[in-house]
Structure 1
């Protein structure tokens, strides 16, 4: 599958628009220094995350406070499957509107609190130690991209990984529609080393010269823009759907690429090209534009739809891109359904729970 393989013909352009860790780790390090750390817009949430940016409404603040509370609350005795009265399950369900939908990596959306709550009882039974902290969070009115760093203990090993919790909010800041972007393959890499699939991006490394202008992103005359303008969304969507590596890289020239399967960002053009070409060799993407959340220094863009490849067709799939202030270009997606089919994934989770 080469660059621009399928062409533009037949692609339906969606115009509705929509990722995350950053190097800054304290509120005092935000633009404006310590003054921003004591801003009155949602100070309780601001104090608990690494960075908070954007248009922070009271609803967005209420959502973030609930999201943080669930991440910090110990599970205690794990819930029985379907026990919606468990204290931590109740805290989780308090995030959601009664009519909410929740899309998790590789699956169809769950609809309503009963389905969503039942699902989290299974997750907490498997990993009662699940905890997370907020990393880079951008609120844009009714859309919140909540970057988080998750940690769980599985088979005696600590597994840590990033996630983007993308939420569209309704009344009282409760989530009407949620999508979660993270790589499930990391759950098995060290816990089931003899059974885990070969990582999708095994062997991808930098080579050749750095693709780096020497300037920070967004600076005049160089680097990359911190965000993606609305007018660019149709072309960016087309680049993903047509596997146009040249177009994707041209927009992020000088950026450092972080993504699933990488232990360190890729800084060379050859390394970044190899990464994207590996993804496109494994999957034909059929994406639509999702939500966009724009902050002071960071923009998240969501692409959501399906992927098809050797492991299945019409697999629910999505990507979140993060464009950061210092030349960061970060991707968040699930590699597991691209390296294992549904039956193989089910077997892996059963072994993890045994």
Structure 2
């Protein structure tokens, strides 16, 4: 891709896209609970996000403040490609440790501030309107799962979408290792409707009666069994733990509440790709848990594709999946062509 296009695959597009039209997620809709009352730990962040839970260290607070600053700061005149001195680029790089790595779906990790900063200059040149706010955030010591609701204009279309920014922090709360979980496929549905690949979960819908039971928040001790279920494509095990939960995920216009609907969604995923995942980070809050699975996917579109999933288990029976469907429905050449067309 040309210089001005590289950044679109970068952090500005780091999303877990549910729909090109705004869809309110459970993290946005749920009211603040008693555990979200004003507290002395990082009150400036609490005032800016929908929900903040977990072990909030001074480093975590410093990170979240920088994350919010970048999301709110207007781009102004877009940066030239590689201009690391642009005010918004500087605010972005302030999030990262000089030796940081940043991984985004379908690619290899970017290493160091020069590579990371260069990527964001391309993104902001293409989509200077990018802005976001914090939604459901869990800090667990040096691990922060930062839920975001992003808005950006592409080809005259305003696209709103959620994202999970997963960060492992070092000194001064700067990110040592970042991974972004999002679905790029939806970027093309309204902007390039004639070229966009068919959505992975097209036609998936509820049928039958809603499931019963209260799933509760996943505990860290359950991670080994949960990981085994994902790698074994054990739909029964995955659903047994989430009976009664509402499943939200990329390409699903509304949450699935019936076992039949959730089963069809998982079976479609497993029929499309073989997943080879490892346990990543876990962030446990008072009412919310995020769990990360990271590895590769293989299928008709390629083998060994860098791939990951974040699951969110929420206080009101939410079960949310964040991952990129694009490399599962389009090969590498097609993806490059789509981004070239989007940037033209």
TM-score (norm 1): 0.89
Displacement, 1:343?
0.8
Q: Secondary structure at the match of 2:27?
A: coil
Q: Does 1:248 align with 2:251?
A: no
Label 1:47 to 1:290 Cα distance change in 2 as closer, same or farther (>3 A). Answer: same
Partner of 1:44: 44
Alignment map for 1:264-343 (pairs within 5 Å): 264-343=254-333
1-structure distance, mates of 2:314, 2:169: 24
Displacement, 1:107?
0.7
Q: Does 1:210 align with 2:201?
A: no
Match 2:27 to one of 8, 22, 29? 22
Displacement, 1:127?
0.8
1-structure distance, mates of 2:70, 2:343: 23
Q: Does 1:31 align with 2:34?
A: yes
Partner of 1:7: none
Displacement, 1:25?
5.5
Deviations 1:98-152 (A, max 9, x none): 0000001111000000000011111111111110000000000000000001110
Higher Cα radius of gyration: 1
Displacement, 1:311?
0.5
Label 1:135 to 1:21 Cα distance change in 2 as closer, same or farther (>3 A). Answer: farther
Q: Secondary structure at the match of 1:196?
A: coil
Label 1:23 to 1:92 Cα distance change in 2 as closer, same or farther (>3 A). Answer: closer
Partner of 2:68: 68
Partner of 1:165: 165
Contact kept in structure 2, 1:188 and 1:196, CA below 8 Å: yes
Label 1:23 to 1:212 Cα distance change in 2 as closer, same or farther (>3 A). Answer: farther
Partner of 2:57: 57
Aligned pair count reads 321
Q: Does 1:224 align with 2:227?
A: no
Label 1:205 to 1:273 Cα distance change in 2 as closer, same or farther (>3 A). Answer: same
Contact kept in structure 2, 1:143 and 1:168, CA below 8 Å: yes
Displacement, 1:229?
2.2
The runs of 5 or more residues in structure 2 that have no matched partner are 1-15, 17-24
Partner of 2:150: 150
2-structure distance, mates of 1:156, 1:261: 21
Contact kept in structure 2, 1:37 and 1:47, CA below 8 Å: no
Contact kept in structure 2, 1:21 and 1:162, CA below 8 Å: no
TM-score (norm 2): 0.91
Displacement, 1:24?
4.6
2-structure distance, mates of 1:293, 1:154: 33
Q: Secondary structure at the match of 2:34?
A: coil
Deviations 1:256-308 (A, max 9, x none): 00000001000000000000000001110000000000001000000000000
Contact kept in structure 2, 1:24 and 1:51, CA below 8 Å: no
2-structure distance, mates of 1:347, 1:122: 17
Partner of 2:12: none
Structure 1 segments, 4+ long, off by >4 Å, are: 23-26
Contact kept in structure 2, 1:53 and 1:296, CA below 8 Å: yes
Contact kept in structure 2, 1:79 and 1:124, CA below 8 Å: yes
Q: Does 1:259 align with 2:259?
A: no
1-structure distance, mates of 2:308, 2:294: 4
Displacement, 1:21?
4.9
Contact kept in structure 2, 1:161 and 1:186, CA below 8 Å: no
2-structure distance, mates of 1:270, 1:25: 25
2-structure distance, mates of 1:58, 1:350: 42
The runs of 5 or more residues in structure 1 that have no matched partner are 1-18, 214-222
2-structure distance, mates of 1:207, 1:168: 40
Partner of 1:13: none
